[in-house]
A = this chain, B = another copy of it.
Amino acid sequence: MVTVLFEPEGRRVTVEPGTTILEAARGAGVGVRSECGGEGSCGTCRVIVEDQSGLGRVSEDERRHLKPSEVRRGYRLSCRASIRGDAVVFIPPETRVGLRRVQTEGLERPVKLEPLVRKFHLRLPRPSLRDLRPDLERLLDSLWDAASVRPVVDLELLRGLPEALRRADWDVTVAVWDGRRVVSVEEGDTVGALYGFSVDIGTSKIVGYLVDLNSGAVASVESRENPQVAHGEDVLSRVSYAVGARGGLRRLQRLVVEAVNGLVSDSCEEAGVDPRRVYEVTVVGNTAMHHLFLGIPPRHLALAPYVPAVKAPLDIEARSLGLQVNPRGNVHVLPVIAGFVGADAVADILATGLHESDETRLLMDVGTNGEVFVGNRGDIVSCSCAAGPAFEGMHIRHGMKAVTGAIERLRIDPETHEVKYETIGGGRPVGLCGSGVLDAVAEMFRCGILNRQGGFTGDARSPRLRRIDGERETEFVVAWREETGTGQEITVSRQDIQEAQLAKAAMHTGAALLMEEKGLTEADLDRVYVAGAFGGYLNPESARLIGLIPDMPPEKIEFVGNTAVSGAKMALVSREAREEAKRLARRVRYVELMTVPGFSREFASSMFLPHRDLGRYPTVAEYLRSRDARPGDTGPLTPPDAHRKPTDKSGLTITRAGRQIPKTRVREPD
């Protein structure tokens, strides 16, 4: 057997000599492109191996697809290169499958470290004719002396207890959940190995933290695509599959549980932790994901009046859900607020501390099913916004998910209309992801290519602006044929712009109506939080320019990242935070936007760039005035990095703000 190390992931795998690199990569769970499926005919599976002593000779197929200079630099086709000895294989970005950006970290407030699972090392007295206490009572008496708790023990654990205690020679560590339930009886002193796992089940992405409950520190972070995507991209199609397809609910439940199990197993492997030492899992997700994870039929989430089956937090044994942590570990599912304001929203509030502040704050969780909150310590109102899939790059002609090759950021020169862009992975562009689409709209608007209705002004004379073949529609060319990875041009059409407008209008309408509900204007807001996995990649200047977020001084706007998973982590490590979450779900008022009289009018106004009422966007209005007065000024609205970036307050606090690229990027098969 020989060992192959895949870089930059650092994954190691042991294989039989003669295995191809492609096979080894699959075995290691490393995604390598291979369009022909390993036939040696497409040349997409190129990898770099600097020291080729562990590989077989370069084959004819490889010479056909690789330039001699590439062969000299160590390029190989992974489907043709066979492994003979230990090797280090580097996978260049162009060969990666789905290098997906997932925002895995978010703002988090420091909390008191008080996990619900605790461990106690006990040395029990042996039974004797003078001490005839039964095994269970002997254990519980010692536990009482050590910890003043008297938890219950389930029948299966009790069945194993007589042998477990004697095998351990009466020297054991007991893990107790919430002082109420014995989760594990382990041989010797295992107090040091006490872990938990927090997971945010998004409609698209699942993010998990493995947390050391002795220190509160994150031991590793993993994320995955939500595999339910195969049965519907959005929440409603997922619900309709669960309700309509035979065995659909069961299949979706199993898929998400398997994905979470994968995250647990990957993070445990990375951190060198035995998954049986994970004693509690906290779970958040929108209400539909919450129901699907629990296997609760979500039918009535899709039927008026859209009531969930349950709102309260739930505690469930891991094995009864099929989660592969300690079988008796507790799965705490955070409460939901309403049919479309889920446990992820509760976690958002928890992480941002909206409910604890005297300041009045606006929290926008930007996404396909967005949520908005306005309030403070006294009262919080919430609503849900059906923004649609534009933020995910969907329903956009050249849109794509935020994976390798997606243009995620772009800038247009107001004079030449030249486009500068950045792609994920750094290679040739193949499409626009959500943030790229929003940037394109914002930049076209900034440069006067679009008017406030989102239509092409027609003023701009640019080779990039042209009619779509055979249609009356105009489109803007972001990348020319020669530049792209597909050989096709990447363009943005009026239709695409409208999708972006619908999405941003939905979010803004929610914010505007909630402010109205509370009798507030932007001036009354002390701070705006922009949350959500997507939020972290958003260009804040673009977001303000198109009117997705309110026009506020940059220092009052905070991009808080994936607060859902940080909220779940807070509830994992802190009993107090968990109690807060429970209270929050009861306290936060839910406003059904459809029933608010001004809904349609506000939505129509929010379709404008940035808004029909320019008074709501004074900075943008001022910029437009100055731009029109001094054409050629290409400066941004605000200096870069002016957005508030909170500093770490403690080991428990992780903040990623503004334009910062998150530390953790996770590669995912697409």
Interface residue ranges, A against B (CB under 8 Å): 127-129, 132-138, 155, 158-159, 161-163, 294-297, 299-300, 304-312, 314, 316, 320-321, 338-339, 590, 592, 595
Contacts and interface: CB of A to CB of B under 8 A. Distances in A.
Contacts of A304: 129
Contacts of A294: 155, 158-159
Contact of A159 (B137, B138, B297, B305): B297
Given A132-B338, A304-B129, A338-B132, A155 B309 contact: no
Q: Which 7 A-B pairs give the minimum distances between C-beta atoms?
A: A136-B310, A134-B311, A134-B308, A127-B307, A129-B305, A135-B309, A162-B309
B133 A316 contact: no
A164 to B, nearest CB: 11
A296 B158 contact: yes
Query: Which of A127, A128, A304 counts the most chain B CB atoms within 10 A?
Result: A127
Q: What is the copy number of this chain in the assembly?
A: 2
A283 to B, nearest CB: 13
Contacts of A339: 132
Contact of A311 (B129, B137, B338): B137
Contacts of A129: 304-305, 592, 595
Query: Which of A161, A296, A592 counts the most chain B CB atoms within 10 A?
Result: A296
A309 B161 contact: yes
B305 A162 contact: no
Given A129-B595, A134-B310, A136-B312, 20 more contacts: A129-B592, A132-B338, A134-B308, A135-B307, A135-B308, A135-B309, A135-B310, A136-B311, A137-B312, A155-B314, A155-B321, A158-B296, A158-B310, A158-B314, A159-B295, A161-B309, A162-B296, A162-B297, A162-B299, A162-B309
Contacts of A310: 134-137, 158, 161
Contacts of A321: 155
Nearest to A333: B155
A132 B287 CA distance: 14
Contacts of A135: 300, 307-310
A305 B155 contact: no
Contacts of A305: 127-129, 132
A312 B299 CA distance: 44
A305 B321 CA distance: 40
A445 B22 CA distance: 94
A320 B154 CA distance: 11
A137 to B, nearest CB: 5
A358 to B, nearest CB: 29
Contacts of A309: 134-136, 158-159, 161-162
Nearest to A161: B309
A249 to B, nearest CB: 9
10 contacts: A132-B305, A132-B590, A132-B592, A133-B311, A135-B308, A135-B310, A137-B311, A155-B316, A155-B320, A163-B297
Contacts of A159: 294-297, 309
A309 B140 CA distance: 12
A313 to B, nearest CB: 11
A135 B159 CA distance: 37
Nearest to A136: B310
A339 B305 CA distance: 59
A542 B320 CA distance: 58
Query: Which of A134, A294, A314 counts the most chain B CB atoms within 10 A?
Result: A134
A297 B316 CA distance: 27
A306 B132 CA distance: 8
Nearest to A253: B159
A134 B592 contact: no
Contacts of A162: 296-297, 299-300, 309
Nearest to A336: B134
A455 to B, nearest CB: 37
A288 to B, nearest CB: 13
A615 to B, nearest CB: 33
A584 to B, nearest CB: 15
Given A136-B309, A307-B133, A295 B155 contact: yes
A129 B592 CA distance: 8
Contact of A307 (B134, B296, B311, B592): B134
Contacts of A127: 305, 307
A159 B129 CA distance: 50
A307 B128 CA distance: 9
A296 B159 CA distance: 4
Contacts of A133: 307, 311
Nearest to A138: B307
Query: Which of A128, A158, A338 counts the most chain B CB atoms within 10 A?
Result: A158
A144 to B, nearest CB: 13
A420 to B, nearest CB: 48
A465 to B, nearest CB: 47
Nearest to A338: B132
Nearest to A127: B307
A136 B312 CA distance: 9
Contacts of A297: 159, 162-163
